Structure formats: C-alpha cells, structure tokens
Amino acid sequence: MPRPAFRHVALSPQAPLVDRAPPEVRPTLRRLRACHECDWLMALPPLRSGDQAVCPRCGHVEVRRHRYPAQRSLALALAALAALLLALSFPFLGFSVRGVGHRIELSQTATDLIGQHAPLVAVAVLLTTLVLPALYLLGVVWLQAGLLRGAPLPASRATARTLAHLEPWMMADVFLIGALVSLIKIAGLAHIELGPAFWAFVAFVVLLLATTQSVDRDWLWFALAGEPPAPEGSRTGRTAAPQGLTGCPTCGLVNRLEPGGHGHCRRCGEPLHARLPHSLQRTWALLAAAAVLYVPANVYPIMTTTSLGRSDPSTILGGIVELIEMGSWPVALVILVASVIVPLGKLMALAWLCLVAPRAHEFNALARTRMYRLTEFIGRWSMVDIFVVAILVALIRAGNLMAVGPGPAALAFGSVVVLTMLAAMTFDPRLIWDDPHRPAQDEDAPHERHAP
C-alpha cells in the first residue's frame, strides 16, 4: 500500500467544495476500510492524484485517487452521452449482396429480435448496451454536477448506490467486439458498409470505459456524506468480522454490525452482513441452473441462416467450425474462448471454490482469490455470441435471398451468462480466508492498532 507523506495543498476559495475539502485535508481523521475480498481491516493513508491503496493481505485495490475527479467524470460522461446520441441518430451498419441491400440503426439490433420471437434476448441486449449505460452516465452527471455546485442534488445518495450496482451489467464494450466478429463472419459473403453511428459507438464505448474508471468512489462518498468516525475499539491489522465489523460494499465505510451479524450502512444505507447470507447455497443453486441450461445452449442452434430459400441452423460449435473453414482462425478462437471455454471454465472454477471454501485455510487463499477475480472479470465476455446473433438478425434482411433468425439456444446461452454472473456475485470471497478452526482471539495481529 503506497504511503506518501501528507502534504497540504492550498486551494483557491473559489474552488468547488469537492476540491476544497477532500479526504486528504483531514489528516486527523483515521479512515478505516475492511477489504471486500479478505476482510482485512486497515487504515487508509493520505493519497494524492495517481495513488492507490491496496490491501496488504490479498492485493485488492481499495481506493484509486484521481485529480479533479468531479470535473473529470462530468466531462467524460457528457462526452459519452453525446456520442451515444450520435450513435442512435445515424445508420449503424449496412450490407449489400447481388444488388440487394439493407441498413440498420443501432437500436434495431435489439428491437428486431422482438419480431423474431426472442423478446427476452431483445430486452437483455437493449438493457446491457444502451439503457443501463445511459442511466449510469446520467447518474454520474447528476452526482458530479451537484458536487461542483457545492450542494448535492436530491437523491444523490440513492443515485450513487445505484451506480455501483449498474456497473457490472454494462456491456457496450462486449457488444462492440460482437459487432466486429459479425462483420468478419459476413465480410466474404456481402459488401459491408460502416455507418457514421458505428464510429460514434466506438467513441461511446471508449468514453464509457474512461468514465467508469474516472469515478473515484471513495472521494465521491466523502464529498456526499462525509466520513463518520470509525467504530470505537476497532483494531487494524486483523480481520473485521471477529470484531463485529464489516465494510460497506457500496461506499466502503466500516460499520459495527448488530448482534445477529446484520445491519445497514450509516452513510449510504446499504444492507450489511458479516458474510453474505447462504452464500454457498445460493451459488450452488445458480451454478446448477446454469449447468442445466448449458446443455441446450450448445445442442440447439443459436441462429438459423436462410440463403436462397434454404435454411441452415447453426450451433455455437458449428459456427466455430465454419469460421475455421473460412480461414478466420482468430475470430474462431475468440468465439471458442468466449462461448465455450469461459462459461464452462467459470462453472468449474466457481464450483471448486464452493468446495474448498469451508476448508480454505488448507489451501493457498491468495491463489483462490485471484481465481475468483478472474472468473468475475471474464464472465460478461461470454455475451459476445448473443450480440453477434442480435446484429446478424437485424442486418441480414434480404428476404429468401439471405436472412438470419435467432435459434432457441440464444435464450438458453444468455441465461447461462446471467446465471454465472449472479453466481460470482453471490459467492463471498471472504469465505476463502476464513479459518473455522481458529478462534477469533487467536488471530495474528502484528500491526494491531486501536482506532480513536
């Protein structure tokens, strides 16, 4: 964990309140954090722009500090919204084959699925690529505009809580990869035209990613609601749960739990638990449902291609074989990894973590935690195949000459992706570090200190 020496920086009285009163100008305030992955209780050092605070036990990044976080996030969010409006206002993609052509707008990648009797897949595509990112950006604008004017706008705390829950489900970047895969798949069959909206969407994806990275959650919550004092008797250098403490997963504040091991955050109101209730049981249930759906997702066709009146259903593995036969080895490898290896690997990895969690002290907890981070990160990328289907269904519309329709496996595969993502969220990685055979008072605490 970086520990730069504290240096007070004099700021102009005309500077926004969020800049005049950051956490760093409160050196007497001891700001505690409990790691969300290993439950280690630590004190944050003063951080300057570009610094980050890392858990000394598991290496999880607790805080990243940015320079002028409110201004940065507001500018990026406004630019991303402008790019999204442009992407929705012009043609996205076009194709022509044998004198027959068709153009689509970005929104048609979702709406055309409704007409193809795949409404649930259409809703998933619409939410993950357009609606949720737009809501996230509007929320960032609302929060940062209030901070820059010196007084948070109404419902700012609820908005900040919502942003933390929306972020994992935004998949515009995955959709862009799906668009590129789609173009490569049909490049040899038809002439492809990239509309102005395509380039606007590329800019939107880049700006959206930059916006999510620019949001300094620690600074944001400090500016919105301050930092209440640490619970009396808190001791750093050991785990939080044996002390009756836990860190809020939304705002990071360390809270004292009620006798039953539950409670609500004093700062943001998020429900708190010493450990997620029935974490292993819920994860097992979600994994079992995903495993059941994984079979029809690979057995049934994910899309059906009609060419000159002849229908040709294609499964996920069949599509990979076709790409290999076309010589598109890199694209075939991307689909193989995203649609076959990642879902199956995530199922196996989470199942194994559930098995070893009750006796995790016998294994390398740090390696298990890194595996969990990897499964949590890669899960969303399996949606590439769903987005490929959505784009091809909307784009390839030339009557009996050529057309593409969704297959029954699309809904099953999309459900597998969602269920495995939920399974990763319900699994509590702190269980990996818990030792059921070691009493709380016997924990090693080489750097134990009492919070004032």
Q: What is the pLDDT of residues 396-444, one digit of tens each?
A: 876 666 778 888 899 999 999 999 999 999 999 999 998 765 544 344 4
Tell me what pLDDT residue 399 has: 62
Report in angstroms the alpha-carbon separations of 164 from 183, 220, 250, 268. Answer: 33, 12, 6, 12
Q: Specify the range with the lowest mean pLDDT, choosing from 11-15, 99-103, 177-181, 391-395.
A: 11-15
What is the per-residue burial (b if ≥16 Cβ within 10 Å, else e) of 58-94? bebebbbbbebbbbbbbbbbbbbbebbebbbebbbbb
Comparing 26 with 194, the larger pLDDT belongs to 194
| pLDDT confidence tier of residue 20, bands split at 50, 70 and 90 | low
CB 147 within 8 A of CB 223: yes
At 256, list the tokens: 């004292």
Q: Which residues contact 20 (CB under 8 A, 6 or more apart)?
A: 11, 13
3 domain residue, yes or no: no
Residue holding tokens 């490049």? 187
Please check the confidence at residue 43 and state whether its pLDDT lies above 80: yes
> Any bridge partners for residue 306, and if so which?
311, 403
- The count of residues in the chain is 452
222 domain residue, yes or no: no
Residue 127, domain extent: 70-217+278-432
Helix ranges (DSSP H) in 26-97: 69-89
Q: What's the CA gap between 337 and 354, in Å, rounded?
A: 23
Tell me what pLDDT residue 6 has: 35
Question: What 3-state class would DSSP assign to 319?
Answer: helix
Q: What is the pTM of this model?
A: 0.87
Tell me what pLDDT residue 19 has: 61
CB 36 within 8 A of CB 373: no
Q: What's the CA gap between 382 and 312, in Å, rounded?
A: 23
Tell me which range, 6-15, 21-30, 372-381, is most confidently predicted by mean pLDDT.
372-381
340 domain residue, yes or no: yes
What does the DSSP 8-state code read for residue 40?
Answer: B
Q: What's the CA gap between 156 and 275, in Å, rounded?
A: 27
| pLDDT confidence tier of residue 257, bands split at 50, 70 and 90 | very high
Q: What percent of the chain shows pLDDT beyond 90?
A: 44
246 domain residue, yes or no: no
Tell me what pLDDT residue 253 has: 92
408 domain residue, yes or no: yes
Q: pLDDT tens for residues 304-315?
A: 877 766 777 888
Tell me what pLDDT residue 80 has: 97
Tell me what pLDDT residue 448 has: 43
Please check the confidence at residue 74 and state whether its pLDDT lies above 50: yes
Residue 389 neighbours by CB distance under 10 Å: 30
Q: What's the CA gap between 185 and 192, in Å, rounded?
A: 11
Q: What's the CA gap between 69 and 77, in Å, rounded?
A: 12
196 domain residue, yes or no: yes
380 domain residue, yes or no: yes
**What is the total count of domains within the chain?**
1
In this prediction, residues 141-157 reach a mean pLDDT of 90
264 domain residue, yes or no: no
